[in-house]
Amino acid sequence: MAQILYASGDVKNVEPQNGTDFQLNELKKIVGGYIEIVYLSDKQIMVVNEEGKLIGLPFNILATEAYRMATQPNNETIVGDVLICDVGQVK
């Protein structure tokens, strides 16, 4: 099950509209702009807004914690709403 981690702290379980994989337009809508893929592991990715820091999106504590747990040691921060899903759910 994929999850959207909102910068507000809310979390929403989601499925791709077509039932198998997220399409580019879905990903852009979730993150609010151009997408960037961040690998958390061989099996899981985080989709973030590529320009999030440049355009001043708010800090996302849940996404930052997930990223840091997967890529320790790391002080990087994640901003904006993100999608975490299995690698195969984005083609």
* pTM for the full predicted model: 0.95
Q: How confident is the model at residue 91, as a pLDDT?
A: 86
- Domain ranges, ordered by start, for the chain: 2-89
Closest by Cα among 39, 3, 6, 42 to 22: 3
pLDDT at 45: 98
d(CA 53, CA 35): 13
pLDDT for residue 72? 80
pLDDT tens, the chain, 91 aa long:
899 999 999 999 999 999 999 999 999 999 999 999 999 999 999 999 999 999 999 999 999 999 999 988 888 999 999 999 999 999 8
Q: Rounded to whole angstroms, what are the CA distances from 5 to 27, 34, 56?
A: 13, 17, 17
Work out the number of other CB atoms within 10 angstroms of the CB of residue 53: 14
Predicted local confidence at residue 30, as pLDDT: 98
